[in-house]
Amino acid sequence: EKYFFGKLGLRKDTRRAVRLWTEAAELGSVQALYELGVAYYEGVGVREDKTKGAKFWAKAAVRGHVESRYNLGFCEGRGGNHDHAVRHFLICAKMGHMVAVETIKKMFMEGIATKKQY
């Protein structure tokens, strides 16, 4: 992360950050999986690949990373799969993610989420 943002006096080097996150992910870092998801989804330091980014988030989400789960919900919603989006957001809400709670409320008010899903 320090290379990605150029913190602590380090020169900003997004490609190096991606290499280090890849190494860390291989060693079991859930946060590195999340960061790789962001890098690939947004195309920073690597060629943009939204599918690959979502796959990294999915790996982190099953290991309990709430922000990865939230991002998966966002992707599902953007893709029109509102049922899966609601499921992801509900899991996040149960983990204390307040933005997910607000997102579910908004989806409920707009008729996208239903009581049955709760």
Split at pLDDT 50, 70, 90, the class of 66 is very high
Both tokens of residue 37?
């998801």
pTM of the model: 0.85
Mean pLDDT in residue range 81-106: 94
Place of tokens 């990294």: 56
What is the pLDDT of the chain when averaged over all its residues? 89
Tell me what pLDDT residue 113 has. Answer: 77
58 contacts 44 by C-beta, under 8 angstroms: no
Q: What is the 3-state secondary structure (H, E, C) of 26-92?
A: HCCCHHHHHHHHHHHHHCCCCCCCHHHHHHHHHHHHCCCCHHHHHHHHHHHHHCCCHHHHHHHHHHH
Q: Summarize pLDDT for 31-48 with one digit per residue, the tens.
A: 999 999 999 999 998 999
Q: Is the pLDDT of residue 65 over 80?
A: yes
